[in-house]
């Protein structure tokens, strides 16, 4: 990047971040810039650069060459910044209303300069605090219908899709998912983290060959089924929201995988709210229903209007595809429920339940629901049956 | 390639092929080389370079920038030569006894210099002429167990596998398969080629929504399921054989796809022999049984000894994987039977039946068997049931 003095990767500071923003002509020449580092420092530096005169602001995100999770630190490829910037740009083309704009990106410095979304809040935090986002489920359904359809062999030419598969090969970040979602929670692995009161339940899981076989098959699907370009980490912490707007950020885990993985993560992360707060259950179930119905309606519309596959008019094909997506969604949601309860990375929805006994009860329910979704995914035929399975577990 | 004078692609001739072999030090300095172009000229030039003194010989294969099939000509990427050379080298590491050695390859010139297999014959031709290859089915089963296992997420680290997926992205040659095997034969497409006497049967196929739905799902599997590095074109014309030896050549269609595709092509291409020559049926059925049993035995042995997946010891996992492979194999074999009967590229086994009425009858049987294998692949549970389905169709 000729815009900065250095030739090799170096972390930005507030001064060099402001200098970069200026050189990119993102502000008026008389702008009075103030810069603040606002990231949580685990994986990335995040600078907010604002012009005090105009109020205009941008975000500069820089990947760090290591990850810190629960005090542990391991090296992590900087290439993820390029994957993230490339994915944001592509998703922006496909679903512009739900993706921040990227103004500039640089692979060497692992930098993405993008639209500031500070007027929105992170959906997980907002939901925990009792905020309501009436449109979030509709927006997530639309976003996924568009991104999953137009990156698949139905919505793009198979030869172009193969070049995208190549571009988004993402071994290191996929490995995190393969280990932390699909493997470690089902074995007595060092990365697991759970309260001692859960040990008996966790041991039952580790000994449950039926659940493990189905988890193995879901992992195999994640490893092999290059259906669409996924966000890859679409939990409520990757969503900025307000009452009217929804923006999906942080697609550094993007890669070609099974559609149900993104869909299942959305549903599981909404479910944590239903599990942790009884009074919200009906509202969350309604969101989950809206999410799935919007997704299928929009996906079906795109299938009818924009499908380039000669078989797309073949009787029953769309239904088969949606049925497969739903089955996968159910199973992947189950994996997410389990790993967020006993694996390395938890969610504040559950860990934040201050009453110890209620928290343990909620986590046991989460584990059992996770197992049920994994093993019964062939039998759970539609979104209403999924919700009634959830109700039976709570 | 500094070994030749030119900087850019240029076709070899007999003189420059001999010059290249010399420069590569593949022969003694006093060798007396004779060169002959022995290819069929459709896709590649093939030079055989021999030292009259020692009898030693090598093959120099050069990709041409176009393909000729049934008089049509279209441009075709030279990159396929690199894919082929890379695949040969990898398959040679994994199953050395069944793959020719590559001495040299060059991407710019689209050249692969390799072991001469002239002492063997092309299995399709040999089988049609009544040759017997008692070990061919055992060898093909072993070859596929090794190459499919060790290139999958079970036999190689998932992160290394992803680099291989990237290396073997092969859009142009995959498109040939997507069109000519999975699409065109099921629609009234210009590329199709069949005798007028078959038109009624073909029209029935084009109108059969049930077969088309299942063909669509098999195509989708081919497009998305990156299970293993496939040969991608493993018919009996890609196999050199004798009574004791089997070598698999021409993997220019190599890419990451579903295991059942290679397995199904082997079975379908053996079936053409059973369909075209009644007296060989029991021998061919025995080959097919041996092929599948060898494959599953060897694959199971590799699974037990070399599987790096933590779930590999999970009860029932191997059985699930083999069951999935078998189902796919059955369906893909069905697609191959159909496309070789009415699609663009035929097989000499069927077209060579000189009696018109017998030929048409054989082709109708092939079509119907193909449809049956496609739609019944969930129900056909094992290799004996597959063979009895074949018997019922003949």
Query: pLDDT (tens digit, 9 = 90+) per residue, B179-223?
Result: 999 999 999 999 999 999 999 999 999 999 999 999 999 999 999
- Contact between chains at B153 and A220 (C-beta distance less than 8 A): yes
CA dist., res. A48 & res. A38, Å (int): 7
Q: How confident is the model at residue A40 (pLDDT cuts 50, 70, 90)?
A: confident
- Does A69 score more than 80 pLDDT? no
Task: Classify B55 as helix, strand or coil.
Answer: coil
- Does A368 score more than 90 pLDDT? yes
**ipTM of the prediction:** 0.96
Number of H helices, E strands in chain A: 14, 12
User: Which stretches of chain B sit within 8 Å of chain A by CB?
Assistant: 153, 158-159, 161-163, 165-166, 169-172, 174-175, 178, 183, 186-187, 209, 212-213, 215-217, 219-220, 223-227, 309-311, 314-317, 320-321
Q: What is the pLDDT of residues A222-267, one digit of tens each?
A: 999 999 999 999 999 999 999 999 999 999 999 999 999 999 999 9
C-beta separation of B191 from B182 below 8 A:
no
Q: Is A339 annotated as a binding residue?
A: yes
pTM of the model: 0.96
pLDDT of residue B66: 80
CA dist., res. B70 & res. B345, Å (int): 8
pLDDT of residue B67: 72
Nearest residue on chain B to A182, alpha-carbon basis? B311
Q: What are phi and psi of B258, to 5 degrees?
A: -75, 135
Q: Is A115 annotated as a binding residue?
A: yes
Stretch A152-167: mean pLDDT: 98
Segments of chain A assigned to CATH 3.30.200.20: 2-115
Calculate the CA B351 to chain-centre distance. Answer: 19
pLDDT of residue B176: 95
User: Which stretches of chain A sit within 8 Å of chain B by CB?
Assistant: 153, 158-159, 161-163, 165-166, 169-172, 174-175, 178, 183, 186-187, 209, 212-213, 215-217, 219-220, 223-227, 309-311, 314-317, 320-321
CA dist., res. B161 & res. B228, Å (int): 9
Task: Classify B228 as helix, strand or coil.
Answer: strand
Task: Classify A205 as helix, strand or coil.
Answer: helix
Closest CA to A369 of A393, A339, A346: A393
Cβ contacts of residue B303 below 8 Å, gap of 6+? B149, B154, B312, B318, B321
What tens-digit pLDDT sequence spans chain B (394 residues)? 455 666 789 999 999 999 999 999 999 989 999 999 998 767 899 999 999 999 999 999 999 988 765 455 677 889 999 999 999 999 999 999 999 999 999 999 999 999 999 999 999 999 999 999 999 999 999 999 999 999 999 999 999 999 999 999 999 999 999 999 999 999 999 999 999 999 999 999 999 999 999 999 999 999 999 999 999 999 999 999 999 999 999 999 999 999 999 999 999 999 999 999 999 999 999 999 999 999 999 999 999 999 999 999 999 999 999 999 999 999 999 999 999 999 999 999 999 999 999 999 999 999 999 999 999 999 999 999 999 999 999 8
Closest CA to A143 of A248, A286, A64: A248
Q: What are phi and psi of A229, to 5 degrees?
A: -80, 115
- Contact between chains at B227 and A224 (C-beta distance less than 8 A): yes
Between helices A356-375 and A259-276, what is the axis angle to 10°? 150
Q: How far is A314 from chain B (nearest CA, A)?
A: 6
CATH 3.30.200.20 holds for A2-115: yes
Beta bridge partners of B66: B75
Percent pLDDT > 90 in chain A is: 93
Nearest residue on chain B to A224, alpha-carbon basis? B226
CA dist., res. B105 & res. B252, Å (int): 13
CA dist., res. A319 & res. A309, Å (int): 15
Closest CA to A218 of A265, A252, A253: A265
pLDDT of residue A1: 47
Segments of chain B assigned to CATH 3.90.1200.10: 121-393
Tokens of B2: 């500094």
CA dist., res. A382 & res. A326, Å (int): 7
pLDDT of residue A246: 98
pLDDT of residue A51: 96
Alpha helices (runs of H) in chain A, residue ranges in sequence order: 14-23, 79-94, 123-128, 136-150, 158-167, 171-180, 199-206, 209-224, 259-276, 281-306, 317-342, 348-351, 356-375, 383-393
C-beta separation of B62 from B11 below 8 A:
yes
Residues from chain B that touch A178, judged by Cβ atoms under 8 A, are 158
CATH superfamily name and code, A121-393 = Aminoglycoside phosphotransferase (APH), C-terminal lobe (3.90.1200.10)
Q: How confident is the model at residue A200 (pLDDT cuts 50, 70, 90)?
A: very high
Q: Is B116 annotated as a binding residue?
A: yes
- Contact between chains at A213 and B183 (C-beta distance less than 8 A): no
Stretch A14-37: mean pLDDT: 94
Stretch A378-394: mean pLDDT: 96
């Amino acid at each position: 990047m000729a815009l900065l003095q250095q030739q090799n990767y170096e972390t930005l500071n507030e001064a060099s971040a402001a200098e970069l923003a200026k050189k990119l002509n993102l502000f008026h020449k008389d702008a009075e810039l103030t810069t603040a580092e606002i990231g949580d420092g685990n994986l990335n530096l995040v600078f907010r650069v604002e012009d005090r005169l105009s109020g205009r602001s941008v975000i500069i995100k820089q990947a760090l060459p290591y990850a810190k999770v629960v005090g542990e630190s391991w090296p992590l490829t900087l290439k993820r910044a390029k994957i993230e910037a490339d994915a944001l740009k592509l998703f922006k083309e496909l679903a512009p209303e739900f993706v921040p704009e990227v103004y500039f990106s640089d692979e060497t410095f692992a930098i993405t300069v993008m639209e500031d979304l500070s007027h929105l809040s992170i959906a997980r935090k907002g939901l925990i605090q009792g905020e309501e986002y009436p449109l979030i489920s509709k927006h997530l359904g639309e976003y996924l219908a568009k991104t999953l359809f137009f990156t698949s062999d139905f919505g793009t030419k198979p030869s172009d899709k193969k070049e995208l598969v190549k571009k988004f090969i993402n071994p290191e970040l996929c490995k995190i998912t393969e280990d932390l979602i699909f493997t470690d929670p089902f074995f007595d692995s060092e990365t697991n983290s759970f309260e001692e009161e859960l040990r008996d339940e966790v041991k039952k899981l580790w000994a449950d060959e039926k659940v493990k076989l189905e988890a193995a098959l879901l992992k195999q699907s994640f490893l092999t089924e290059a259906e669409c370009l996924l966000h890859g980490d679409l939990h409520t912490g990757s969503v900025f929201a307000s009452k009217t707007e929804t923006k999906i950020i942080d697609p550094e885990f993007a890669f070609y995988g099974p559609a149900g993985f993104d869909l299942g993560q959305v549903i599981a992360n909404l479910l944590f709210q239903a599990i942790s707060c009884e009074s919200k259950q009906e509202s969350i179930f309604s969101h989950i229903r809206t999410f799935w119905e919007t997704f299928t309606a929009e996906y079906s519309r795109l299938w009818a209007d924009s499908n380039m596959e000669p078989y797309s008019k073949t009787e029953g094909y769309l239904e088969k595809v949606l049925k497969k997506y739903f089955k996968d969604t159910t199973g992947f949601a189950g994996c997410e429920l389990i790993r967020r309860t006993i694996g390395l990375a938890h969610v504040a929805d559950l860990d934040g339940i201050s009453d110890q006994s209620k928290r343990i009860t909620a986590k046991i329910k989460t584990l059992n629901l996770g197992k049920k979704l994994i093993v019964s995914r062939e039998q759970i035929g539609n979104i209403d049956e999924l919700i009634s399975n959830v109700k039976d577990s709570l």
